[in-house]
Structure 1
């Protein structure tokens, strides 16, 4: 009874209706998904760990980071047999769905002072584009996205030990989370410029090291650590295609089907992969100018970060996530997923929801256009690519306006 009384308390992030909606989704969630992962690779790796132990799973052909392999090991232990592991592999969706909910509730709770709309978390939880990867596709993209979101929130709120935990964990869930490390560093520098604490920094490093030791110790003690290193080293180039079903820039630039072209082919003296890197890092340098300039002003003039700074942070992070998906080669159709949650955070603070709506539609058009579960996207991939391009264009315009405003703010501060 006390549990339900607490869940009825509006001061808590989790309400009774969240639990009911989660149960409803679990009840209706399809038992099918992307066959090669949900019915082949994942149960096979889970059974390998069940049979040989978690410490030996990197002797299989897995190419996943440690956090998820821990999960597959315990999934196998809970099932108890090869037959049940394969028969119930769809139940992994229930685990991923917890993170879809966790991300939505964390953002709604952490940013609640910036908006007045009630039950705003359901803009994500009723969002088919947001839930598609978990509920239909059966993928784990919600897990690293939630870790990144929690890391940014904790750093901004100066929950530094939790921040160290989530930021570290995000990389060990999915290596692509490394693109968000600059945001962790920017917030870390800002927080320690406000109040430097050597002991706190040492504790953060300790938390990070303990988290890594927890994840890696089975492989260190089991003698398979170097197999893990090999997986990390070979992660770039594992799918050497110009696009791996991501409806991005390459569908607009290349006449041939990008999924059939090796990204080691050259154009104007550079491989397609290097062109992707060049575009990403070059454009990222422009994207980071406003947030770096604003952080510098906060530090130099000893000012406190406000809602405008927080909105700029989320806008920058969402733009980087979309840019990573849009210009790089080897991108999967799902890799724009993190941008949905990040644009949602920007929408809550800025109260400008257009980019959030557009990225939700674009992501859904890509994943269902490839998977064709609902048949929602009968159009050519190029149209979805143009929509992603429009999202980036609007984001760049907003960042350019921010740059002009920040320059004016800097001049005003100097004249004081």
Structure 2
């Protein structure tokens, strides 16, 4: 199928595009350094990471979950921190919390992930929409603040989750590898299971999904198998699973941990309300949150089932699921909105209507992070962010409903099952509304 002609106003020359990409890289590094120097950030998180770095140095990654203490992140970040410590150690640098010596690992990770976004978006050509997405990733205030100021690593699993969906239609083996790496980076990546499950069920229902599923499973099992053998040889597999995936569950039994979601006064609950509080004598607030999330996941599943199964629909459904995960369950932290933000940015490759909502989401995430780090959370200023977040969540639902109605009226939904568009190797097909 011939690539549809792009309007001239949306194309950039090869020279201009490459110069723009290089300038974005320089600006991304410069602004992160400018932010990192004067701001110590969230010291308790960084001090914990520096301590983990030292524990890995002393005990080795394979044994650190057995012999170490207070380690509740999966192993990928520990491995990356240990590699960083070794490299900077050649120059006599000892990472310290609140300083560039530690934040350097986060800035380097940001730049690597931003560089990876260039080939991930290659199918869009040298267009302004692609450059907009790359610029929004490179200069996004929420992503910059999260790493260069706060000192967290949410960009890593968010990009791996998004990359999984971008390559899934055409490269299921690589998608399986990326999803395994995402789970080995942060447990929140498990939210993709609903989207991946519906994707493969729909493919199997149309008798086109056995080979993609087998390839995805092979990539996924290969990475997890290597990881399992690595830790099992040191008798540390059980300790790793318990520490990285189970130890933090239920650690903060209150309705919200500084996340500006519906539990932050919006429905009448203060942040410190125990989520074991019962409604009508039977249903706990925690259970109510999961039921609300289940409704949004079910809607996302219906949308995906009736979609083309291309990268655009995968990203949209996953963005909704992840933002609902931030907005609806209890015990949610302020940073759990980052995957939804990164996915929404990539959606802008295919649908320009998501641009303004994504910018608003970026500002909302930034405000939430800043208020927590600066200890400047005010009830009413926080509620402003909550109202924006609620409006964005409802907008996502309305936007996807509109697509369902339009697709139902235009043509059968199964026409394009064998021809996924918008993936890493095939140009997206834009509708008039896009």
TM-score by length of 1: 0.82
Cα offset, 1:15, TM superposition:
4.2
Report SS of the residue matched to 1:290. Answer: helix
Which residue in 2 is equivalent to 1:16? 22
Indicate if the aligned counterparts of 1:54 and 1:218 stay in contact, CA closer than 8 A: no
Of 46-55 and 21-30, the range deviating more from structure 2: 21-30
- Render the CA deviation track for 1:213-261: whole Å, top value 9, x for unaligned: 3334332111121112223233421222211100100113454531x23
Q: 2:423 aligns to what?
A: none
SS at match of 1:251: coil
Would the aligned equivalents of 1:100 and 1:131 in 2 still touch at CA under 8 Å?
no
What's 1:300 paired with?
Answer: none
1:47 and 2:54 aligned: yes
Q: What is the aligned partner in structure 1 of residue 106 from structure 2?
A: 93
The answer to whether the aligner puts 1:68 opposite 2:80 as a matched pair is: no
CA contact (8 A) 2:113 2:159 kept: yes
How far apart are the structure 2 equivalents of 1:147 and 1:13? 26
Structure 1 residues 37 and 347: CA distance shift in structure 2, 3 A: same
Superposition pairs for residues 7-406 of structure 1, below 5 Å? 15-25=21-31, 27-31=33-37, 32-38=40-46, 40-59=47-66, 60-80=69-89, 84-86=94-96, 88-98=101-111, 101-102=114-115, 104-105=117-118, 108-112=121-125, 118=131, 120-156=133-169, 158-188=170-200, 193=206, 195=208, 198=211, 202-231=214-243, 232-253=245-266, 255=268, 257-258=270-271, 260-268=272-280, 269-295=282-308, 310-352=311-353, 353-372=355-374, 379-406=380-407
Question: Which segment drifts farther, 223-232 or 60-69?
Answer: 223-232
Indicate how the Cα distance of structure 1 residues 23 and 323 shifts in structure 2: closer, same or farther if over 3 A, else same: closer
Q: CA deviation at 1:57?
A: 1.4
Change (3 A) 1:15 1:348: closer
1:125-169 Cα offsets, whole Å, 9 max, x none, are 22212322112111111000110111111112x112211110111
Query: Is contact 2:165–2:311 with CA below 8 Å preserved after alignment?
Result: no
Does the CA contact (< 8 Å) of 2:146 and 2:152 recur in 1? yes
CA, structure 1 residues 270+234, in 2 after alignment: closer, same or farther (shift >3 Å)? Answer: farther
Structure 1 residue 83 displacement after superposition: 8.3
- What is the aligned-residue RMSD (CA, Å)? 3.3
2:246, 2:129 → 1: CA distance?
Answer: 46
User: Tell me, what secondary structure is at the counterpart of 1:43?
Assistant: helix
How many Å apart are 1:67 and its aligned residue? 1.2
Mapped contact 1:165–1:208 kept (Cα < 8 A) = yes
SS of corresponding position for 1:348: coil
Q: Is the 8 A contact 1:155 1:187 kept in 2?
A: no
- Give the distance between the partners of 2:130 and 2:235, measured in 1 at CA: 53
Given that 2:124 and 2:349 are in contact with CA atoms closer than 8 Å, whether structure 1 keeps it comes out as: yes
Map of 1:4 onto structure 2? none
Please say if residues 76 and 185 of structure 2, whose CA atoms lie closer than 8 Å, have aligned partners that are also in contact: yes
Give distance in 1, aligned partners of 2:377 and 2:15: 39
CA distance in 2, matches of 1:236, 1:365: 26
Q: 1:61 offset after TM fit, Å?
A: 1.6
Gap regions ≥5 residues in structure 1 = 1-7, 296-304
**What is the aligned residue count?**
390
Contact 1:245–1:333, Cα closer than 8 Å, also in 2? yes
Q: Distance in 2 between matches of 1:126 and 1:26?
A: 9
TM-score, normalization by structure 2: 0.79
The CA deviation string for residues 39-64 of structure 1, in whole angstroms up to 9 with x for no partner, is: x1111111011011111211322011
Q: 1:111 to 1:413 in 2, by over 3 A?
A: closer
Contact 2:195–2:301 (CA under 8 A) maintained in structure 1? no
Per the alignment, in what secondary structure is the counterpart of residue 252 of structure 1? Answer: coil
CA contact (8 A) 1:99 1:142 kept: no
Moved more, 345-354 or 159-168: 345-354
TM-superposed deviation, 1:182: 2.6
